[in-house]
Amino acid sequence: MSAPASSFAAPPALSYTAECPIIAVNRLKATLKAGGTACGTMLAEFRNASTVQMLQNAGFDFVFIDNEHGPLTNETIADLSRFAKTIGLTPIVRVPDHQYTYVSQSLDAGAQGIMFPRVYSLAEAKKCVDMTLYPPQGLRGNALNRGHTTFQGGVDLVSAMKAHNEQTFIIIQAETKECVEDIEAIAALPGVDCILVGPNDLSISLGVPGQYNHELMQKAINRVFKACKDNNKIAALHINDMALMKFWVGKGVRLVSTQSDIECFVKGATLAAQALKDTFKQ
């Protein structure tokens, strides 16, 4: 009896932009620009690059490398980002704060996008964009021959900066009451690609912690996603409740994230342990 055919699909080869041969195409951004959808998860604790391979094998399109709530060093972020990019899993780093060094070091290391938590205002969102993009769109300092160029140089500097700006994915997290109150202006801001609702912190900020179906939450999330639609920005959501996820996908969400490496491991291990224990009950 022959073994069943494998469903494993090899990841696509890394491709580079037509504008600059050392800047890799951001597959996530290309997919969304073409009208597609994307699914991902958080990586917060497991620091070995093999974890990134497992997530790609599982079928995720991108990974949020969580430097806000994870104990990750610059070296770890660099290793995870570069490996993820080469196997077709777009690496997005969630920085711990709106500080230039967190942004520039992550991008120079090879991340293809930045997610900014705890944004309270248009002014803060503008600062985030400025730190992420090269001139003339932003204020980021330039260094070639780093991870984001696969350690290559020798190209036209203007073309390299333009291509990198176009391939970098900027996510603003809407997880504060103040951000929602300013969301129309934030969504209209050039450079912002995506606004991701973080229901946990947003519910806390609105005074209804953990009540994701609360009227205040529904009203706030609807307002965020309407602002995205009105300004042609990607509406995104990170949530573990699949019923709520499905509901909001029906409202126009095109980028979704759920769980984390920790939760995936614990849930899988729990099922395995329970299955073993159940064998003794038969």
CA–CA–CA angle 20, 137, 194 (5° rounding): 90
Annotation says 164 is catalytic: no
* Pick from 32, 14, 34: nearest CA to 24: 14
Helices (H), 59-99: 74-86
Mutual angle of helices 49-58 and 74-86, in 10-degree steps: 40
C-alpha torsion sign, points 159, 160, 166, 172: negative
CB 131 within 8 A of CB 119: no
Q: DSSP class of residue 40?
A: E
Single out the residue of 242, 267, 266, 264 nearest to residue 59, CA to CA: 264
- For residue 195, give the DSSP letter: E
Q: Kindly list the catalytic residues.
A: 69
